[in-house]
Amino acid sequence: MSEVIDARGLVRRYPADGPPVRAVDGVDLVVDAGETVSVMGPSGCGKSTLLHLLGGLERPDAGELRLGGRRVDGLSETQWAIFRRRNVGFVFQAFHLVDELTAVENVELPALLLGVSRRDARRRAMDLLQRLAVAERAGHLPDRLSGGEQQRVAVARALINEPLVVLADEPTGNLDSRATGDILKLFAGLRQARQTLLIVTHDARVASTADRLLTMRDGTIVAQTRLGSGASVAGILASLADLGGEG
Amino acid sequence: MRDVIMSLLAKEPAHGYELRQWLVKALGPAGGALNPGQVYVTLSRLERAGLVEAMEVAQPSHPDKKVYELTAAGRERVQQWLADVTWSKVAPVEFHLKLVVAAATRLADPVALVDAQRLELLRELHQLQELALAEPADADGALLLEGASLRLQADIRWLEVCERRWVERESR
């Protein structure tokens, strides 16, 4: 299987006052095509910094990074911007939609920047909004949308150029329980469609939708597991149906 | 189990088979995991305790069938059960003691125990969510899965509190 993310010994130091702090302290991470990975850990453990490194929003101080087989840790700012536009979709906690553009205009923007024709970009954007059940809101500005709708629009925008990988940073951090449920269903759909996806989250419900879960502490990965293994469905069902057999 | 069956019988007398069918439906996907004999074992215990009464009903082409009816004592127990607010598993006391004893005896690293436990609960949550996605949203079973999922999330949050505490203790 091809590796979409291949990171070796990634380090990111912050020049805080006094001795530099290692926010990411030697992370090795391989994510295969079609895999969904979530990263959990206490705040300050380095999980968001790791996501920024993987998407080129920050540069590592040491280590190597390959995305889709291409070495990217040495790219210039401009090269990164071009690479990212085509290959990386971002979803952020605060949605980051452009306020002056309607929902569909936000979604088609990354395609237009890649040189896709207006007609094709609009068609693709409308298809995605349809799939994510926000098509009827396509003509509205972001401030007329609920948080859940804004995040679905942001996910559509992340997907429009069919990226190698979608990186999501606390995607449900600003959403209520119901809207979180909608985003969970959406991620489950992406997982079924084999979209490579890395989610940084402190929400156990969101984290547990993934194929694989990483736990970070103090800038390193301290534990990881395949979520589909272990706990058996039969065991869970039996405990749910356990009404106290003693009678 | 006992109280649920008595409550069903408070409405009208029923056969063991009907009671079982009702339970399977109310439990949704977990219904399949219900032990087949459990309803009958429970009914005979309730009968011995004088909480239900069995009547043989003649059937033309089959052996006689038992119909169960709630007694006055059973009816009183049902009222008590409905008013009872006892909640099982209020705190995972056993796990808490495991952490304290592991730290005191140095038999294991409490933080590693928390990590392992959390991964196991997240695996369970993963399975629950898969089941929930497959269940129609308006089915009774979906509500049970939601409850189980919320409790797991609360347990996972508590493990995060445990993690912070034990990381701080270790770094002292």
* CATH number of residue A116's parent domain: 3.40.50.300
Q: What is the pLDDT of residue A147?
A: 95
Strands (E), chain A: 3-14, 21-32, 36-40, 62-67, 70-71, 88-92, 165-169, 197-200, 212-217, 220-226
B32 at the A interface (CB within 8 A)? yes
**How many Cβ atoms are within 10 Å of A110's Cβ, its own excluded?**
22
Residues of B in contact with A222 (CB under 8 A): 115
Whether B30 and A215 lie within 8 Å, measured CB to CB: no
A98-107, A193-202, A222-231: lowest mean pLDDT where? A222-231
In 3D, which of B9, B27, B30, B29 has the Cα closest to residue B18?
Answer: B9
Mean pLDDT calculated for residue range A151-164: 96
Q: What is the pLDDT of residue A68?
A: 96
Mean pLDDT calculated for residue range A111-139: 95
- Facing residue for B123 by CB, picked from A231, A237, A246: A231
Residue A8 belongs to some domain of the structure: no
Residue A179 belongs to some domain of the structure: yes
Residue A125 belongs to some domain of the structure: yes
> Nearest residue on chain B to A214, judged by CA atoms?
B119
Residue A101 belongs to some domain of the structure: yes
DSSP 8-state assignment for residue B35 = -
Residue A9 belongs to some domain of the structure: no
Whether A247 and B46 lie within 8 Å, measured CB to CB: yes
Average pLDDT, chain A: 92
pLDDT of A24 over the 60 cut: yes
- Is residue A247 very low, low, confident or very high in pLDDT (cuts 50, 70, 90)? very low
* Domain carrying residue A149: 34-55+77-228
CATH class of the domain whose range is B2-83:
mainly alpha
Tell me the CA end-to-end span of chain A in Å, nearest whole number: 52
pLDDT of A172 over the 50 cut: yes
Q: What is the pLDDT of residue A45?
A: 92
- Is residue B64 very low, low, confident or very high in pLDDT (cuts 50, 70, 90)? low
Distance from CA of A183 to the nearest CA of B (A): 12
The domain ranges of chain B are 2-83, 93-171
Residue A239 belongs to some domain of the structure: no
**Number of domains comprising chain A:** 1
> Which helix (DSSP H) or strand (DSSP E) does residue A101 occupy?
none
pLDDT of B66 over the 60 cut: yes
* Phi, psi angles (nearest 5°) of residue A78: -65, -45
Structure tokens at A145: 């949308």
- Facing residue for B163 by CB, picked from A42, A184, A241: A42
* Phi, psi angles (nearest 5°) of residue A77: -55, -45
This prediction's pTM? 0.83
Distance from CA of A230 to the nearest CA of B (A): 7
- Is residue A236 very low, low, confident or very high in pLDDT (cuts 50, 70, 90)? confident
Residues of B in contact with A187 (CB under 8 A): none
Whether B120 and A230 lie within 8 Å, measured CB to CB: yes
- Taking a C-beta distance cutoff of 8 angstroms, is the pair B114, B99 a contact? yes
Whether A204 and B124 lie within 8 Å, measured CB to CB: no
pLDDT of A96 over the 50 cut: yes
